[in-house]
Amino acid sequence: MSDFLPAEKALGMYKKMYEIRKYEESIYYLFLEGIMPGTIHQSTGEEASAVGMLYDLRKDDWMASTHRPAGHDLAKGISVKAMMCEMFGKADGCCGGKGGAMHTGDASVGAMTANAIVGGNLPIAAGVALAFKMQKKDNVVVCFFGDGASNEGSYHETMNAAGLWKLPVIYVCENNMYSANTSISLTCCQENVAADRAAI
């Protein structure tokens, strides 16, 4: 790693990944002990894709997350306090306590409110990218999705439009080989989403 990154930056990225892991561990226990209301969808083990993709983004670049938004949101710049308050329905939460675990976000740091509809964030991210392009801004949108989302119609429609219009959007597949708890072998005709599905 140090061959490619200055030590200080590598450490900063590692600290952010550690923060995400510790935050999600805390949420896990608070939820299981019945202290935290609502529900949880965790992204344990996916900290690196969040931080790797978002660390160098500007505040006015945008990020679109999924039903597992905590790591993405922390990496884009929402504070642990604002995330935690959101989990407990507090006014200091990033969405005033009205969103909960699957609908976190904060426009002031470019974190689009997370979308729990699988594949639902893909066309919205393309729309934001189209706006950037029409306004001649040099911003970019990063949009995360899962291997399961690549089976949705919205995925195929959006990839076509984004490719056709050359939109400033980066789609990042976090392929954990499961659609929640169903193996990719039962859901997808292609195992290598990045290589086979991306080549539309």
Count of beta carbons in the 10 Å neighbourhood of residue 196: 12
The answer to whether 79 contacts ligand TPP (rule: CB under 6 A) is no
Nearer of residues 99 and 146 to Mg ion, judged by Cβ: 146
Instruction: Choose the binding region for ligand TPP from 14-22, 86-94, 111-119, 161-169 (rule: CB under 6 A).
Output: 111-119
Q: Does 147 bind ligand TPP (CB under 6 A)?
A: yes
Residue 15 belongs to what H/E stretch?
helix 7-32
Size of the site for ligand TPP (CB under 6 A): 13
49 is a contact residue toward ligand TPP (CB under 6 A): no
Angle between helices 121-134 and 153-164 (to 10 degrees): 20
Type of residue at 139: N
- x/- string (CB under 6 A) for ligand TPP, residues 160-199? ----------------x-xxx-------------------
> Is residue 16 exposed (0-12), middle (13-18) or buried (19+ Cβ within 10 Å)?
buried
> Which of the residues 136 through 195 are near Mg ion (CB under 5 A)?
146-148, 176, 178
Question: Shortest CA distance to 112 belongs to which of 74, 65, 51?
Answer: 65
- For ligand TPP, give the closer residue by CB, 85 or 151: 151
Say which DSSP state 194 is in: I
What part of residues 22-81 is at the interface with Mg ion (CB under 5 A)?
none
Structure tokens at 102: 């699957």
Residues at the interface with ligand TPP (CB under 6 A): 67-68, 116-118, 146-149, 176, 178-180
